[in-house]
Amino acid sequence: MYVQRKRRACSAVWPIDEKAGNPPQGWTGWPEGKKFALVLTHDVETVKGQDNCRKLAELEMESGFHSCFNFVPERHKVSKELRHYLTDNGFEVGVHGLYHDGKLYKSKKTFQKRAIKINHYLKEWNSVGFRSPSMHNNLDWIHGLNIEYDSSTFDTDPFEPQSEGMKTIFPFLVTSNLTHNSYIELPYTLPQDSTLFLFMRENTIDIWKRKLDWIVEKGGMVLLNTHPDYMNLGEKKRNIEEYPIEYYVELLKYIKKRYKDQYWHVLPKHMAGFCKMQSTNLREIITNKKCQEKGSDKGMKKFCMVAYTNYESDNRVIRYAESLARRGGQVDVICLGVKDQPRYDKVNGVGVFRVQKRSHKETSKYMYLFKIILFYIKASTVLTGKYVFKKYDMIHIHNIPDFLVFTAFIPKIAGSKIILDIHDIVPEFYVDKFKVGNNSLTYKLLVMVERLSAAFADHVIVSNDLWRSKLITRSVDEGKCTTILNYPNSSVFFKREKKKRKDKFLIMYPGTLNWHQGLDIAIKAFGIICDNIPELEFHIRGGGVQVGELMELVAHLKLEERIFFKDYLPVEENANCMATADLGIVPKRADGFGNEAFSTKIFEFMGLGVPVIASNTKIDQFYFDESLVSFFKSGDERDLGEKIFLLVKDKVLRDQLVENSLKYMESNCWEVKENIYLNIVDKLVGNYKN
């Protein structure tokens, strides 16, 4: 009866308080033009709750969602294995008080004493978010925690012990008037599961739906907090302190179906990063004095990338650009284009400026240099012109060539931070492409350019650890050089359901057709075994200077009906094609450049659940072993043919490689590793908190 009386008394402000729907002054909306934001969190308070975490995480992943799990550090031991399982799979881990005994805010002395331990767990768990037990809060004292965000408040919830709501469905900034430090406050905006299903005994999710629809109408942030402790996963008979997991599943399905492509779904830490980068779109609460609101004077962070590549076909550039855009940054890319593409386009929130058409027919080193210099002039002109109006905070330059970094000369002088991203190490690439010696004057000049380019940049990213070691010895300080592999995006490179084929076994290579890629070796290997495997077919997807020679080789071996050349596709379409393969092949030569150039294609095939055969290059054996990849002796078409024959005939071996690869990729995808990049960005543009 008390509950019903309370509900009637608070019906004007719960579950919806109309005043909370007003956006902050100057609000410009969510990234990518999405209608509303979606953040999912879970407070885990018991051993039972911890036991339910993995299954709940798997359920969310199957539905295309990710969330934050907040644990109480010293109530029940939180295993490192559970935390790592969650973070390795793209989830977030936060700290939920210390003991959950209701005494955190008993006195400032108590809070300060506990804050030391809380900060210890924040650091140990690599967490940036906090939520107080029972939604108790003191927004001033919370400045004593080393956090990016807090989530101990709500828009409206008169049933909480500390029942005063923040009256907003938008994030806001909390700044200390004494220290001027600030953090982002993320109020939960949907009623908690415990309130609805345990306290009020609701047996439908109608209140969730009604509140969610209203938040969507207002363009706010849907932030839900649930408790795995109270969820019945169907394994045992439900008791009075549980509700069926189907309620939560129904809500996720409702969101996914009704609001498809309309929501910006992020983890709380990414929401905090987005908010930190905004201007005039957050209200600000000042602690240590009478609360007031003001627009933030921090401008939206602006970024530009320059790359001698086609944007839609370069997974690395796409990932970096979209990661910054998802956090709320304004991102432009200056790049190459292909026939029939417009000079300017907006792609998933990223402005793409195509200043030159791409040609793969750069067989002459002079023509190759001419095309690059022409792009340098055009990119430099466009970048400088745009900088006058946009004042980019950071410019990310992707090689090849290294000297492309100097397109940012004027912005650098004016204060922009510069990243040089070395996809391929240029001196060795040049030696391999044009068959010149390491003692040549050109090679020595390229090493000098590499050194000057690295010195000009504020930070250098390099695409594998072998090259990082080489760069440190000759061109860049160790402290300003970071390895970031070309990790695939698991939302693109994931295992698909594959149609069973009895009449065809498909081998595939997707990528550039250059000499060091070893496609001639693969074609010869195919010719050796194809008569013994009539269902075998080989698709080669891509372009490059060797296309003509490779086609001639296929014709010479009379394999035109078994080996097919196809155009390389944009990243997502290419992933769909790669997923149809029964076997991926990466036949690089192990001499020269190819021996140390990391094969992104291996990562991509592994993520797609396609077994891989690769040559035993130094770099690929550095990162992989025979449990993940089937290696053959580089340059040996007979050994390659034997490995292909073995895998075609041995389904058990193929399945074992796939199983091991999928497990490996859970912790080696972009969703897990992108923070390496975002931390570099935050250090450079001033949002990094140690």
- The alpha carbon of 178 is separated from its chain's Cα centroid by a whole number of angstroms, namely 36
- Name residue 662's amino acid: L
CA-to-CA distance for 64 and 651, rounded, in angstroms? 30
CA-to-CA distance for 386 and 1, rounded, in angstroms? 65
Averaged pLDDT for residues 646-665: 95
Structure confidence at residue 1 (pLDDT): 52
- Name residue 352's amino acid: V
Structure confidence at residue 544 (pLDDT): 84
pLDDT tens per residue across span 277-312? 874 567 778 776 443 343 333 457 899 999 999 998
Q: Say if residues 165 and 12 touch (Cβ distance below 8 Å).
A: no
Structure confidence at residue 298 (pLDDT): 43
- Name residue 674's amino acid: E
| Strand stretches in 247-391, DSSP E | 263-265, 284-287, 302-310, 330-337, 344-347, 350-357
Q: Say if residues 234 and 56 touch (Cβ distance below 8 Å).
A: no
- Share the mean pLDDT of the chain: 90
pLDDT bucket at 83, cuts 50 / 70 / 90: very high
Name the strand (E) or helix (H) holding 538.
strand 536-541
- The more confidently predicted of residues 538 and 112 is 538
Structure confidence at residue 411 (pLDDT): 96
| Strand stretches in 403-543, DSSP E | 417-422, 459-462, 481-483, 505-510, 536-541
Structure confidence at residue 689 (pLDDT): 35
Name the strand (E) or helix (H) holding 646.
helix 637-649
449 pairs with which residues across the strands? none
Range name among 11-25, 423-437, 502-516 with the lowest pLDDT average: 423-437
- The pair of three-digit structure tokens given for residue 553, joined into one six-digit string: 């080789």
Inter-CA distances, 144 with 100, 179, 182, 459, Å:
18, 10, 11, 31
Structure confidence at residue 434 (pLDDT): 74
Structure confidence at residue 503 (pLDDT): 83
Range name among 11-20, 54-63, 649-658 with the lowest pLDDT average: 11-20
- The more confidently predicted of residues 346 and 371 is 371
Averaged pLDDT for residues 501-522: 91
- The more confidently predicted of residues 640 and 572 is 640
Structure confidence at residue 593 (pLDDT): 82
Contacts of 80 (CB under 8 A, 6+ apart): none
pLDDT tens per residue across span 549-564? 999 999 999 999 999 9
CA-to-CA distance for 267 and 84, rounded, in angstroms? 16
Domains of the chain: 2-18+27-276 (3.20.20.370), 302-487 (3.40.50.2000), 505-665 (3.40.50.2000)
pLDDT tens per residue across span 319-342? 999 889 877 788 999 999 988 888
Name the strand (E) or helix (H) holding 196.
none
Inter-CA distances, 56 with 66, 249, 681, Å:
10, 10, 32
- The more confidently predicted of residues 3 and 426 is 426
Half-sphere exposure of 150 (CA within 13 A, CB side): 26
Return the percentage of the chain with pLDDT > 90, whole number: 69
- The pair of three-digit structure tokens given for residue 597, joined into one six-digit string: 């150039």
Structure confidence at residue 293 (pLDDT): 40
Q: Say if residues 19 and 171 touch (Cβ distance below 8 Å).
A: no
Structure confidence at residue 360 (pLDDT): 56
- Burial tier of 651 (Cβ tally within 10 Å: 0-12, 13-18, 19+): exposed
pLDDT tens per residue across span 422-463? 999 999 888 877 777 788 898 999 999 999 999 999 999 999
Size of the chain, expressed as the number of residues it contains: 690
pLDDT tens per residue across span 124-138? 999 999 999 999 999
Q: Say if residues 583 and 648 touch (Cβ distance below 8 Å).
A: yes
- Burial tier of 435 (Cβ tally within 10 Å: 0-12, 13-18, 19+): exposed
* Closest CA relative to residue 415, chosen from 383, 392, 442: 392
Q: Say if residues 50 and 82 touch (Cβ distance below 8 Å).
A: yes
Q: Return the HEC string of 121-188.
A: HHHHCCCCEEECHHHCCCCCHHHHCCCCEECCCECCCCCCCCCCCCCCCCCEEEEECCCCCEEEECCE
- Burial tier of 291 (Cβ tally within 10 Å: 0-12, 13-18, 19+): exposed
How is the chain split among helix, strand and coil, in percent rounded to 5?
45, 20, 40
Averaged pLDDT for residues 534-556: 93
pTM (global) more than 0.85: no
Structure confidence at residue 383 (pLDDT): 97
Return the percentage of the chain with pLDDT > 70, whole number: 95
CA-to-CA distance for 209 and 228, rounded, in angstroms? 20
Structure confidence at residue 687 (pLDDT): 56
Averaged pLDDT for residues 240-266: 96
